[in-house]
Amino acid sequence: MDINQFRKRLMQELLAKHAKFFAADKKATNKVFQGIGYQADGSACVCDTIILLRIKDVSPFSEPHTLHAITGAEIEGTYPNEQAVDNLLYWTSENQITLETFAQVEAATQCAKVMRMVVKELKTADKIVNLVLLREKAFLQLSDQGVELKVSIGELVKDQDETWSFNADYLYYALDVFKSAGSTRVVIKLRHRNDSIVYSDEENGIDVLILPVRTNAEVRDGCS
């Protein structure tokens, strides 16, 4: 087995492990989003309305196929093609955070995992963890019911003061993919707080998109 075949096998195993966390549940109106969309370019994509995982050069098929993320059964319907996925993932970032080593990736993932566990124990409706940009630093922050956690995860390319709110489950799922892949460099692309963010590991051909959520307080206050 050559290095490319070995890498493809590892990425297929990674996809099999994580796809269920990115796929839409059985209540989804469009059933294709319950599945893994294997694309004509060899990539595979899994997404619901908030989070998306795309891995390049992983498809076992020569033509597009959509298979259920859990059962593996064929799903009828047309999955968004690779161009549509590229449009979501590839845009000019205004800022970025770079996790430069596997140790940084692992630490950020562990932080997100702990915050997710705390949010679960608090039983709050929002289930929110914040990505906070403060000057040249980026932090993950949890502030709820008297619980305060704030951990630095990296430095920004340029100063920015802004806060994103993310579902704690999805934030953890996004980072855990890269930990499982053994990623040694992950770039997190940023624009502004109402925009999606994209994590990319170019070496392994992995991209994750996650959309921010509006908190209950923002909805009540009519924030845009």
Q: What is the mean pLDDT of residues 124-150?
A: 87
pLDDT at 49: 82
Output the average pLDDT for the chain: 90
pLDDT band at 223 (very low <50, low <70, confident <90, very high): very low
pLDDT at 221: 46
Residue 214 has pLDDT above 80, yes or no: no
Domain C-terminal end among 56, 89, 122 = 89
Q: What is the mean pLDDT of residues 201-217?
A: 87
Same domain, 108 and 45: no
Q: What is the mean pLDDT of residues 135-159?
A: 89
pLDDT in tens, 14-46: 999 999 999 998 888 889 999 999 999 999 999
Q: Tokens representing 48?
A: 């619901």
pLDDT in tens, 174-189: 999 999 999 999 999 9
Q: What is the mean pLDDT of residues 162-181?
A: 95
Same domain, 76 and 168: no
Whole domain around residue 59: which residue ranges?
A: 3-89
Same domain, 199 and 163: yes
pLDDT at 115: 93
Residue 66 has pLDDT above 80, yes or no: yes
pLDDT at 94: 85
Same domain, 108 and 196: yes
Same domain, 83 and 99: no
Domain C-terminal end among 89, 107, 126 = 89
Same domain, 118 and 41: no
Same domain, 170 and 102: yes
Same domain, 107 and 170: yes
Same domain, 198 and 164: yes
Domain C-terminal end among 74, 89, 104 = 89
pTM of the predicted protein model = 0.90
Count of structural domains within the chain:
2
Residue 132 has pLDDT above 50, yes or no: yes
Same domain, 81 and 103: no
